[in-house]
Chains A and B, each alone.
Chain A
C-alpha cells in the first residue's frame, strides 16, 4: 500500500512538470500546426535563468522565499520574451512556406538555444542551492512525500486550471480558440491572428519556464542537454493526450509520469522506457488522435 501511494506521488510530481511543458507544445500546435521543437530548450533556459538569479545575485546569502519568487518572475519574463523573439525570427517568416521548412527551423532553433546555454553557462552539471524550500517530509499511508513535491503538484494544478479558465472563459481565450479552428475565418471576424500567435508563444514558454525551474528546484541540478530529455517526454505527453488539446496535454503529462513510475516499480526498471512507450503506442493504435484529441480529427 505504502509503495503504491509512493509511486502515485512519484508519478504525479514528474507528471505535473511534463504537463506544464506539454502545454507549450500543444498550444502552438493547436494554433499553428507546428511542433515547436525548441520548446524543451526554452524551458531549460528558464531553469538556468532561475539558477543564475538564485546563485549569482546574492553571493553568500541564503536565498529566501522572496528571492525564489523573483527567480520565477525573471525566468518567466525572459523565457516568454525569448519565445516571442523565436516566433518572430524563426517561424513568422516561414508561415507561408512549406510545413517542412518550419520544422527544420524549429530543430535549428532547438540546437541554437541548447548550445547557447552551453556557451553561456558551460557544459558541466550545475547545482541549485540546497534549502530553497522547507525540507519537510510528510509520511502518508507508508509513503514519504516531500514539501517540494506537494508544491509542484499544487502549483501545476493551479496553473493548468487558470489556463483552462483563460482559454475558455475570456474574450482573448475565445480568440485563441477561434484562430485554432480556422485562422482565415477568425481574421474575417476581426481577430488579430498575429497577436493570437504571439500570445501562444508567450503563454507556452512562460508555463514551460515554470516547469523548467521546477525541474531545477526539485532535482537541484541542471545541464544544457536537459531540454532534449524533457522536451521529448513533454512532446509525447502532448501526443498522448491529443495534440492541440489543452486538457489533453495535462492528462497526457500526468499519465506519462504515472506510467513511468508503475513500469519501473511493478514491472522492471531496465524496461522502464520500453514499457512506457509500448503502452503509448498501444493507446495511439486504439485512439490515433490521442486520448482527448477529437478536435484534431475534426480539423484534418
Chain B
C-alpha cells in the first residue's frame, strides 16, 4: 500500500521535471494517517489534501526553489502502528508531519516527533495531546470547548439576545453542551433566563415550551438532537412563540427541516460547515480542485483542517525562508490571523487552535443552509 503511494509521488515529480529546482534536495513533508482500517476514508482524505497542496505549490516552483516531496505512512488508526510511523517518518528526514486523524494515533507518535524536533499538526483534540507541552504540537481542529464558546459569542455579542432560554435533553452530550453554553453565556455577561429539559423522543414538548413562553425569551437554544429539535421548532410555532430557535450541532440533519416543516425556515444551527459549504473563497477553490482531481468531495471538514496545517507549514517555510524546525515553530506560534480554509485562526503557546471554524447557519425555506455568521467575505 505504502509503496503504491510512494510510486505515485515519484511519478508526479517526474511529470514536473521541467521546473527549475532540479538538483536542490526536496523539502520532505510526512503524512501520518489511517490509509486502511475503520477511518480509511478520512485518512485517505488527509493524504489526498496534502498531496494536492504540494502538487499545486510544486507547479508554482515549489518552496524556496525546492520541490515538496510527500511521504505517507499508514498508521491504520492504531497507536502501535502510529509509533512505527513516527520513527519511519523522522528517519526519512521530514520537516513536518500532517495527521493523524485520530487523537490516539497522534498521541502515540507525539513524543517521537517532539524528540526529533519535527512539527506535528493533527486534528486530534484530546487534552492529553496538550499535557506534555511539546512545542512541536499544533492542533488544527478546534478544542472541544469551541462550540459553546462560539455559541455564547453569537447569542450575546452578535445577535444581542437579552433573554436566553436553554433547552436540553437528558443525554450526557446535550447536557454537557447546554451547561457549557450556560457557563460561557454568563462569562460574556449574557442573561440566561432558564435551563429547561425535555425527554428525548417523548414528542410532546408543548408543556415545557408553554412554560418557557410565559417567560418571553428572545431566543431558545436547543442542545439536543435533530429529531427532537425539529419538533421543538414546530411546536414553538404552534404555540405562537416568537423567539429565535438556535440549535446545536446535532440538529444539522436533513430531517430537521422536514420535521419542523413550514416552521423550519429562519431557524439557526451552529456547527462546523461541511467542506462544500465553507464560505471562504480559498476553501471553495480548494474543494473544487479536490473534486476535480479525485472525483469526490473531501470526506469531512477534518480533511480541510489538516490541509490548513499543511498550508500553515508551507507559509512558515516561505516566510522564514528556512526549514529549521526551531524557526518554523517560533513562526507558527506567533503567527497572527492565519487565513485558513476553515476560518481565521492562530496557535497559542500550547499549540491549541485559537479561532473556531464554527458558523451560524440559517435554515432556508427549501431546507438548504445559508451561513449568516461569520459574514461570508472575500479574503
Contact = CB atoms under 8 A, between A and B. Distances in A.
Q: Which label, helix, strand, loop or mixed, suits the secondary structure of the A interface?
A: helix
B207 A260 contact: yes
A11 B207 contact: yes
B197 A269 contact: yes
B203 A221 contact: yes
Contact of A220 (B204, B211, B261): B261
B223 interface: no
Interface string A184-226: 0000000000000000000000000000000100011101011
A263 B210 CA distance: 12
B206 to A, nearest CB: 4
B230 interface: yes
Contacts of A269: 196-198, 207-208, 211
A144 interface: yes
B372 interface: no
B38 interface: no
Nearest to A2: B214
Contacts of B295: none
Contact of B208 (A146, A221, A264): A264
B255 A130 contact: no
Contacts of B227: 125, 221, 223
A219 B211 contact: no
Nearest to A6: B210
A90 B227 CA distance: 34
A135 B240 CA distance: 12
A151 to B, nearest CB: 13
A14 B210 CA distance: 14
A10 B240 CA distance: 13
B241 to A, nearest CB: 9
A146 B238 contact: yes
Contacts of A221: 203, 227, 230-231, 259
A274 to B, nearest CB: 11
Q: Which label, helix, strand, loop or mixed, suits the secondary structure of the B interface?
A: helix
A115 B206 CA distance: 29
Interface string B190-204: 000000111101111
Given A220-B259, A223-B227, A215 B207 contact: no
B307 to A, nearest CB: 32
Contacts of B208: 264-265, 269, 272
Contact of A265 (B197, B199, B211): B211
B234 A14 contact: no
A1 to B, nearest CB: 10
Contact of A3 (B201, B214, B230): B214
Interface in A243-290: 260-266, 269-270, 272-273
B350 interface: no
B59 interface: no
A135 B258 contact: no
Given A125-B227, A144-B240, A272 B255 contact: no
Closest 6 CB pairs between A and B?
A: A264-B207, A130-B261, A270-B197, A261-B207, A10-B206, A127-B258
Given A3-B211, A265-B207, 9 more contacts: A3-B210, A3-B213, A7-B207, A14-B206, A135-B262, A144-B239, A260-B207, A261-B206, A265-B211
Interface of B: 170, 196-199, 201-204, 206-208, 210-211, 213-214, 227, 230-231, 234, 238-240, 255, 258-259, 261-262
Interface of A: 2-3, 6-7, 10-11, 13-14, 124-125, 127, 130-131, 135, 137, 139, 144, 146, 215, 219-221, 223, 225-226, 229, 260-266, 269-270, 272-273
8 contacts: A3-B211, A6-B206, A14-B204, A137-B240, A139-B240, A221-B231, A229-B203, A269-B196
